[in-house]
Structure 1
Amino acid sequence: MIHSLFLINSAGDIFLEKHWKSVVSRSVCDYFFEAQEKAVDVENVPPVIPTPHHYLISIYQDKVFFVAVIQTEVPPLFVIEFLHRVVAMFRDYFGECSEAAIKENVVTVYELLEEMLDNGFPLATESNILKELIRPPTILRSVVNSITGSSNVGETLPTGQLSIVPWRRAEVKYTNNEAYFDVVEEIDAIVDKSGSTVFAEIQGVIDASIKLSGMPDLTLSFMNPRLLDDVSFHPCVRFKRWESERVLSFIPPDGNFRLMDYHVGSQNLVAIPVYVNHNINFKESGSSGRFDVTVGLKQTMGKSVEGVIMTVHMPKVVLNMNLTPTQGTYTYDPVTKILTWDIGKINPQKIPNLKGVICLQSGAPKPEENPNLNIQFRIQQLAISGIKVNRLDMFGEKYKPFKGVKYVTKAGKFQVRT
C-alpha cells in the first residue's frame, strides 16, 4: 500500500525518509513542492496529489509535512488515518511531533515505522502493543543503549497480539485505579458585519486516560446523545450498542487514547460564546484611519472566557498603528502587517476595548475592503454543544475506580468580518 514516507519541514527540506517496498527517489517530492508554492498557505496544500507514476498523500502537523508515496489506487482516507496514527504515536513517545523531537529520537522513529507497517500495510498501530515491542526512550535507556549497543526493541511478542482484545495488555495492575475523560470542543464560526452567524459548527473529541487493573468493561452514557451528528470511534467501542442505545460500551486500552471524535452541525444552532463590536474605517483622502474594536461575552453559561487573543491581517498600505487597549497588550508588525491583541481573561464588568489611529501610506489608494478579525479563546468546564456525560459504569472487576470528566471549549477557526 504505502511505498515510502517523506518528512518535510516548513523550509522545504526532506529531513527523514523511510521506504518499505522499494526505494522511491526524492525527486517525487518535486510535485509536492509545486503544489505547496501554488497554495496560499500550508493548510491549502492538496492532501492528494497525482503524479505520472505515484500518488502523494500528505498531512501537516506541528510544522511538519508527512508525505506518503502510493503506487496503486488506495482509499485516500485510509492513508490519511494511518499518517495521523503515526503522528499520535510520535506524540505519545516523545511528547511532541516537531522536527527537533523526531531528529532527537531518530532510531526510535525508524523502529516504530518498521513495526507500524509490514511490507507497506498497517500492522501494529496501537500504543499498548508498540510500547511492549519498543520501549519509550528515556535518558538512562539512551545512555545504556549507546554504551552496550543494544536497542529499545523488546524480545517477546506483545500479549495484546495474542488476545481477543488486541488493544489491551494482559494482566495490567495498578495500585490506584483511575478513569479520566476530557471532552474538548473546537468551535469554527464565521460572523458577519451585523453580528449574525453565517456559519458555525463544532468539532469535538473525547480523550481518555485509563489506568485500571485487569480487564474492565466500561459503559459511558450521555445526558443528550442525540446532539452528536457524526461520530467516529476507537476500535474498542461496540458500534451496535451505540446504534441501538446511544451508549458507549468498550474494553479500554491501557493508558491515554482517543475514545471518539464527533461533529455538531450548524442545524443544531451552535451557541456563539463571544461577540465583537467593531468600527474600522479608512479616510478617502489623507493617510490615516480609525480602529475601534470591543470583545465581550455572549453565551457562556456563566463560565469565564480566558486566553483571548485577536489577530488581524491589516491591508498592505497600513504602515503603523497607534492604539490604546483598556485591557491586555497589543503588537503590530509592520513587515507582516499582523496586529495581535492579547486580551487574556474577559471581565464581564469591564469589557476590553482597543482603539486608536491607523497610519497609512501617503498617496496610496484606500483599501478596498476591511480586514477580518480572527479570535482565539478558551472556556474551562464547558462543552458549548451542551453534551454532558451522565455516568460511567464498570463491569468485570470488583474494585471501585476514581472517575472524572473535564470539559474544555476552544476557538477553532473563529472569524468576524468587518
Structure 2
Amino acid sequence: MINGIFIINTDGDILAQKCFLASTQKWNPEIFYRHAVKNLSTAILSPCMKIEDMYYVHASEGEVYTVAALETPYIASFLMVESLKKFTQECMDLVGDLTSKNIMNHIAVVYELIIKTFGLCQPGIVSKNAINECKQLAATEEDKTFDFIPDNLFGVKTAKENRYVKSGDASKAPLASQKEAVDEVFLDMIEHLTVVINPDGQLFNIRLNGEMSSKSYLNAPVQLHIKMSDNIVDASNSDRQSGKVNVIAKRFHSLTDGDDMKNNLPSFTHLSHPGLNHVLDYQVDTSDTVLPFTMYHNFTKTQKGPMTELLLCCKIFCALPAGVSATKWSGTLPLPSKLHSLQATSSLQSVTFSEDTERKFLTISTPIFPSQSHHSITITLLLSEVLPFMKYQMLFLNLSFEIPDMCISCMNIHGLKVHNIATNTAKSIGRWVRRSTRCKDFEFQLKDWFV
C-alpha cells in the first residue's frame, strides 16, 4: 500500500504532497531530499531505496522527482516505477514541461491527477475519462494560472467562507485545505442503469449495477458501521422475495478479516483508510424496477416533389417521483444518408438541438427533464433520395442522464456511524451520505420507417 506521494525538485522545494494511509513509520519529503538528492554523487539515482525504515520509489524528469513512500516492500519496485513514469508523462501532457513553475501554476490539475492515479493506495494507470476531465480542468485562458483551490474543483464552489457540493456530482468530494484539518467522511452510492426497449414499447433488456465507496479526510483509519434499509435482501444464495430489493450479486472490499468486520446485508462494517476506499459492488434484480422514462413514437412519410419528408414524433414521459428530476439529460439520434435539411422542435423550452458536422447524429439535450411530465419532440427530415440500405441507419434513440439524490433500485442507507480507531471515539467527525443514478445507455428502438 502507498503511504504517500510527493513531488520535489532538486532545490528541495516540495511542490505537491498527498498522504493516503496512516503510517506507523515517519516519512517526509525532506528525508528523501537530504539522504538521496542532496548527497547525489552519481548521475543516476537508484529508483528504489530504503531510508530510515521507509521505502522511497521515484521517477525523475529534469529537475523534478515524483516519489512514492511505502512502509513495506510488498509492491514490486518495477511496477511502482512504471506507474510513476506513466503519471509523469500524463502530467507533462497536461501542464507542459515538468518544471517547478509549471507545476505550481497548475497545482490543482496535478493534485487531481495524483488522486485519480493513486487514490486507491495502489500503483495505477489513470483512465482516459479521468484524463479528459483533467484536460478540461487544465483548459484555462492563455497566460492565466490556477488559484490553489479554484471554483468548481471536485464539485466544490467557494463563496466567501461557505462551501457546498453541487447536486449530481456524487462521486466528487470537496478537497480539504492543506492547512486545515477537516475530519469528514463521505459515503457515496452510485448506480449505473442500462436499458433496451423494443419498438413495441416492451422491455427487452435491463441491467442495474451499483457501487459504494467512501472518501475519508481523516489522518487515521476509521470503522464505518453502515445500516441499509430493511427491505434489502441478499438473494445471491437464496430465492428472491417479492416486494423486496433483491441483491443478486455482491462483492465487499473489506481491508481486514477481523471478527468485528461483518460483511452481511443489510448491515455491515468497513475499515476505511484515509483517501478513497471501495466498499461494495452489487447487482440488483430488476424484475420490479420502475423505468424512469417511457416513450411512444410514430413515423410519417410523405412525398414532397422529388424529395421525401420523414416526420418522427416522440412523446416522452418522465416517471420519476415528484421533486426528483433527471439532470444532464441528452438524447442521440442517428441520421440517415441523403439528408437535405432537418428541423426539430420540443414542448420543453430548455431543449436544444445540435447536429454534428458530418450529419450523422442529432443530439437533443436539456439540463433538467422535469419529473411526472410529458414532453413531445418532433423531428422533420427532408431526404433527397431514399435507398434500401438506409433502413439500417436510423434504428434507435439513445438517452443519457443522471438522477441526483436517488438510487433507482430503492437502495437506501438508514444509518452511518463512524468510529475513529486511533482516538476510540466518534466525536467531531462529519458524516455525509450521497446517492446518484447514472445512465448512458437507455435505448429506445425505433419502428421500421422504411415502408
SS at match of 2:391: coil
SS at match of 2:94: helix
How many angstroms apart in 2 are the aligned matches of 1:234 and 1:190? Answer: 31
How many angstroms apart in 1 are the aligned matches of 2:257 and 2:233? Answer: 16
Q: Which letter maps to 1:273?
A: P
Query: How far is the alpha carbon of 1:334 from its aligned partner?
Result: 5.9
Contact map agreement 2:228 2:267 (CA 8 A) in 1: yes
1:209–1:331: structure 2 CA closer, same or farther, 3 Å change rule? Answer: same
Would you say 1:248 and 2:268 are equivalent positions? yes
Tell me, which stretches of 5 or more residues in structure 2 are unaligned? 1-78, 104-109, 126-144, 148-178, 235-245, 447-451
Q: Which runs of 4+ in 1 moved over 6 A?
A: 102-109
Contact map agreement 1:225 1:387 (CA 8 A) in 2: no
- 1:227-376 equivalence runs, <5 A: 227-236=246-255, 238=257, 242-244=262-264, 246-266=266-286, 268-283=287-302, 286-300=307-321, 302-327=323-348, 328-333=351-356, 335-348=358-371, 351-362=374-385, 364-365=387-388, 367-369=390-392, 370-376=394-400
Match of 1:194 in 2: 200
Contact map agreement 1:380 1:407 (CA 8 A) in 2: yes
SS at match of 2:407: coil
Larger % of helix: which? Answer: 1
Deviation readout 1:133-168 (Å, 9 max, x if unpaired): xxxxx999xxxxxxxxxxxxxxxxxxxxxxxxxxxx
Instruction: Pick which of 364-373 and 329-338 moved more.
Output: 364-373
Query: How far is the alpha carbon of 1:374 from its aligned partner?
Result: 0.5
Deviation readout 1:93-147 (Å, 9 max, x if unpaired): 99xx7993397669999xx9xx99xxxxxx95499xxxxxxxxxx999xxxxxxx
**TM-score normalised by the chain length of structure 1:** 0.56
Match of 1:145 in 2: none
How many angstroms apart in 2 are the aligned matches of 1:288 and 1:366? Answer: 17
Match of 1:185 in 2: 191
**TM-score normalised by the chain length of structure 2:** 0.52
Q: Which letter maps to 2:312?
A: F
Contact map agreement 2:221 2:274 (CA 8 A) in 1: no
Query: How far is the alpha carbon of 1:181 from its aligned partner?
Result: 1.1
Contact map agreement 1:282 1:367 (CA 8 A) in 2: no
Q: Which letter maps to 1:263?
A: Q
Deviation readout 1:293-335 (Å, 9 max, x if unpaired): 2322124465112221000112223333122223311122362
Query: How far is the alpha carbon of 1:389 from its aligned partner?
Result: 0.9
Q: Which letter maps to 1:360?
A: L
Match of 2:440 in 1: 412
Contact map agreement 2:297 2:315 (CA 8 A) in 1: yes
Q: Which letter maps to 1:330?
A: F
Contact map agreement 2:221 2:273 (CA 8 A) in 1: no
1:295–1:238: structure 2 CA closer, same or farther, 3 Å change rule? Answer: farther
How many angstroms apart in 1 are the aligned matches of 2:315 and 2:275? Answer: 43
How many angstroms apart in 2 are the aligned matches of 1:415 and 1:329? Answer: 20
Match of 1:12 in 2: none
Deviation readout 1:194-227 (Å, 9 max, x if unpaired): 2221111112122211123544222212112533
How many angstroms apart in 1 are the aligned matches of 2:97 and 2:248? Answer: 41
Deviation readout 1:232-252 (Å, 9 max, x if unpaired): 333426598555565332221
Aligned length in residues: 282
How many angstroms apart in 1 are the aligned matches of 2:442 and 2:99? Answer: 37
SS at match of 1:228: strand
How many angstroms apart in 2 are the aligned matches of 1:243 and 1:353? Answer: 47
Tell me, which stretches of 5 or more residues in structure 1 are unaligned? 1-81, 117-122, 128-137, 141-172
Q: Which letter maps to 2:399?
A: I
Would you say 1:385 and 2:427 are equivalent positions? no
SS at match of 2:93: helix
1:415–1:242: structure 2 CA closer, same or farther, 3 Å change rule? Answer: farther
- 1:2-401 equivalence runs, <5 A: 100-101=93-94, 124-125=122-123, 175-223=181-229, 224=232, 226=234, 227-236=246-255, 238=257, 242-244=262-264, 246-266=266-286, 268-283=287-302, 286-300=307-321, 302-327=323-348, 328-333=351-356, 335-348=358-371, 351-362=374-385, 364-365=387-388, 367-369=390-392, 370-395=394-419, 396-401=424-429
How many angstroms apart in 2 are the aligned matches of 1:221 and 1:351? Answer: 37
SS at match of 1:404: strand
Deviation readout 1:173-202 (Å, 9 max, x if unpaired): 974321111111111000112222111111
How many angstroms apart in 1 are the aligned matches of 2:99 and 2:313? Answer: 50
1:228–1:335: structure 2 CA closer, same or farther, 3 Å change rule? Answer: same
From the CA coordinates, give the structure whose radius of gyration is larger: 2
Query: How far is the alpha carbon of 1:280 from its aligned partner?
Result: 3.1
How many angstroms apart in 2 are the aligned matches of 1:361 and 1:203? Answer: 44
Q: Which letter maps to 2:404?
A: Q
